[in-house]
Amino acid sequence: MSRIASCFEALAAQGRKALIPFVTAGDPSPAVTVPLMHAMVEAGVDVIELGVPFSDPMADGPVIQLASQRALAAGASLQGVLDMVAEFRQRNTTTPVVLMGYLNPVEAMGYETFARNAVAAGVDGALLVDLPPEEAEAVAPVFREQGLAQIYLIAPTTTEERMARIAEAGSGYLYYVSLKGVTGSAALNVDEVAVKVETIRKHAKLPIGVGFGIKDAASARAIAKVADGVVVGSALVQRIADYADQPDQIPTQVAGLLAEMRAAMDKSD
């Protein structure tokens, strides 16, 4: 069984939900990322989403755009991100790692080379933000053959018909974007999310993670009640930005935020 599937299965058996942090790889510098990943695992996260920096992050808000810029300025590249995952795997062979980013760097590397190198480095899945299932005909068989999960987004505007199609095409887990807008947007309506997640469940057997708008222990706890996983990104990336000039503080700072979320998610009523 894949690392992602075993992870969600074990959590389900314990009646717990996945805490899934997103951080941009190489932000603010390459040396920060691997220690940060280990610190996040120690804080109780279940899956790590690692952002692959891109020059034109069209679907991201200012916080993650700036993270991409910092990482690129510090020399980040897709191959560099794969090397970080390989280094992380020297000490951690169980926590699933998913790359999240845009298609063009993957195209530049080549689908086949990317999928093979990613799996060899210990990557479990990839979420290519600007690659909907309609355009994934060439990519999907390559990922499937290499055993790289293809994670798709579902949005508040996604029709039920498309939900079914996306659920069919996706593997690993589904990522429900809880808000219209870019990453880091503001308000979150948990009741609306709950309704949507139930609709998605009618069409999907995969676990459902929910992201966008989760920024603290309270929102993480609320989403954990309705979804299988809670994705938190901009809140962490903002903390990294705040400590960009004291990079040795970053793992502790981010782990602190995540530990609060973990505790809130696991607390019984």
Partner 1 sequence: MSERPDYAAFPDAGGHFGQFGGRFVSETLMAALAELEQTYLALRDDPVFLAEFDRDLANYVGRPSPLYLAERWSRELGGAQIFLKREDLNHTGSHKVNNTVGQALVAKRMGKPRVIAETGAGQHGVATATVAARLGLKCQVYMGAEDVERQKLNVYRMKLLGAEVIPVSAGSATLKDAMNEAMRDWVTNVDDTFYIIGTVAGPHPYPMMVRDFHRVIGREARAQHLEQTGRLPDALLACVGGGSNAIGLFHPFLEDESVALYGVEAGGDGIETGRHAAPLGGGRPGVLHGNRTYLMEDADGQIIPTHSISAGLDYPGVGPEHAWLKDIGRASYVSVTDAETLAAFRELTLVEGIMPALESAHALAYARKLAPTMGKEQSIIVNLSGRGDKDIHTVAAIDGINF
Active-site residues: which are they? Answer: 49, 60
Q: Which of 96, 92, 152 shows the shortest CA–CA distance to 119?
A: 96
DSSP 53: P
Q: Which of 198, 253, 206, 251 shows the shortest CA–CA distance to 225?
A: 198
**Taking CB under 8 A as the rule, which mask of x and - marks residues 58-97 in contact with partner 1?**
xxxxx--x---x--x----xxx------------------
- Our finding on whether 38 is near partner 1 (CB under 8 A) is no
Nearer to partner 1 among residue 135 and residue 168 (C-beta): 135
- Our finding on whether 158 is near partner 1 (CB under 8 A) is yes
- Our finding on whether 108 is near partner 1 (CB under 8 A) is yes
Cβ neighbours of 92 (radius 10 Å): 15
CB 26 within 8 A of CB 82: no
- Our finding on whether 171 is near partner 1 (CB under 8 A) is no
Nearer to partner 1 among residue 141 and residue 147 (C-beta): 141
Q: What are phi and psi of 154, to 5 degrees?
A: -125, 135
Using DSSP's 3-state secondary structure scheme, residue 125 falls into strand
What sign results for the dihedral spanned by CA atoms 69, 242, 238, 188? negative
- Looking only at residues 113 through 152 of this chain, which bind partner 1 when binding is defined by CB under 8 A? 129-132, 134-135, 152
**Binding residues for partner 1, per CB under 8 A?**
54-62, 65, 69, 72, 77-79, 102-109, 129-132, 134-135, 152-159, 162, 166, 177, 180-182, 185
